[in-house]
Amino acid sequence: MKIGITCYPTYGGSGVVATELGKELARLGNEVHFVSYAMPYRLKKFQENIYFHEVEFSNYPLFEHQLYTLALASKMIEVAENHKIDLFHVHYAIPHAMSACMAKKILATRGYEIKIISTLHGTDITLVGLEPSFMPLVKFSIEESDGVTAVSQFLKDKTKTAHQTNKDIQVIYNFIDTELYKPKNNETSKSHFAPNGEKILIHTSNFRPVKRVADTIRVLKLVNDIIPAKLLLIGDGPDRSECERLTKELKLENKVTFLGKQDGIEDLLFLGDVFFLPSETESFGLAALEAMACGVPIICTNIGGLSELNIQNKTGYLTDVGDVETMAKNTIDLLSDEGKHKQFKEACRNRAVNQFNKNLIIQKYLDYYKEILSK
């Protein structure tokens, strides 16, 4: 099978899932062509059956802004014709699904039929996709796609309601490589961050306002009054400066470590005793799944698709957005009960392996590809 994949190449769940999906498809013998404005950051080295095509921009003085949607559609047409692509799998509705629909229409006039599968990841539907100027385009691209998937039941329901569409949407959850993300015993690494045996709390994100990273620092303040703890913050973004300011204000400079962006977070997540995800909205929560696979219990908000991932009082706890006190109470309760904490850790690992293992989910995508291509 020859598959084109378009995604955002930057740090973020949709790009990570798309890139890892492409790598696995290539490993299984499929020919995979990535089309984007830059090399996806998870494509670090050469892999057989993977090709990258960079979208180039025109700097014509008449255009005040670069026309990425049109340039992407043009590159998709070129790649489809030159490499005999069977289907394009585009991740994130705007602008990727729109560009793919445009490419498909133009290819049809040349006698070339191509299938499009659009995967909805979250903010393309719940935030950007709800902008009045974008809503007609999002609905059009969904309904013109040959197949549509969503990363959670929540997102499927939200899409149908918000965009008033009867399109059949397949729920295919995000996945994890449970051989890469797994519990490890490395007391040396743990003692580097917690030299006095403190508990390690951990969070990773792109530090956007929707992630509410500052809440993790407020939780640490309350937890540390009862149980000695350290907080590792992985990632970077617009809220980092405010988080550093808050850390100083609460006199927690020696308790919080800002690690910035990290490529090999699987070598950090397993250090955590608890993982925080206090987001305002989260259609799935890939970061939480990565932590669960490493055997780290989850303290997160009860929004979006997180309740489909994190099982209350089994793999972690679900709380209301902004309820720092309850998050702290749940963290203290869990860290104070060694037996319960061990049960949660085992339940996290088992759920990741049995429900979200990459082999299970990749097969679902392959089956869906075959279904769409047979129509």
Mean local confidence (pLDDT), 66-81: 91
d(CA 131, CA 152): 21
Report whether pLDDT(104) > 80: yes
Quote the CA–CA distance of 121 and 253 in Å, as a whole number. Answer: 35
Is the pLDDT reported for residue 318 higher than 80?
Answer: yes
Q: Domain residues of the chain, as ranges?
A: 2-175+357-374, 187-355
Task: Give the confidence band of 335 by pLDDT, cuts at 50, 70, 90.
Answer: very high
* Averaged pLDDT, 59-65: 58
Residue 64, pLDDT above cutoff 60: no
What would the two tokens of residue 360 be? 């299970």
Top CATH class of 2-175+357-374 equals alpha beta
Residue % of the chain over a pLDDT of 90: 75
pLDDT over 60 at 229, yes or no: yes
CA 129, CA 116: separation in Å to the nearest integer?
Answer: 19
The neighbour count for residue 371, using CB atoms within 10 Å, is 12
The mean pLDDT value for 116-127 works out to: 80
Please, which pLDDT band fits residue 40 given cuts at 50, 70 and 90? Answer: confident
Going by pLDDT thresholds of 50, 70 and 90, the confidence category of residue 128 is: low
- pLDDT over 90 at 87, yes or no: yes
Predicted local confidence at residue 99, as pLDDT: 93
Are 60 and 53 in contact by the 8 Å Cβ rule? The answer is: no
Per-residue pLDDT averaged across 130-140, rounded?
75
Cβ-contact 321, 278 below 8 angstroms: yes
Residue 111 pLDDT: 92
pLDDT digits (tens, 9 = 90+) for 211-220: 999 999 999 9
Please give the pLDDT value at position 187: 67
pTM: 0.89
Of 133-142, 161-170, 232-241, 270-279, the least confident: 133-142
For residues 178-194, give the mean pLDDT: 85
Question: Strand runs (DSSP E) across the chain, as ranges?
Answer: 2-6, 31-36, 50-54, 87-91, 115-120, 147-150, 169-171, 199-204, 229-234, 256-260, 274-277, 298-301, 316-319
> Do the beta carbons of residue 328 and residue 223 sit within 8 Å?
yes
Q: Which pLDDT does position 133 carry in this prediction? A: 65
Q: What is the pLDDT of residues 279-290, one digit of tens each?
A: 998 999 999 999
Task: Answer yes or no: is pLDDT of 320 > 90.
Answer: yes
CA distance 53 to 34: 6
Are 2-175+357-374 and 187-355 equal in CATH topology?
Answer: yes
CATH topology of domain 187-355: Rossmann fold (3.40.50)
Give per-residue burial for 247-277: e unless 16+ CB within 10 Å, then b. Answer: beeeebeebbbeeeebeebbebbbbbbbbbb
pLDDT at 132: 66
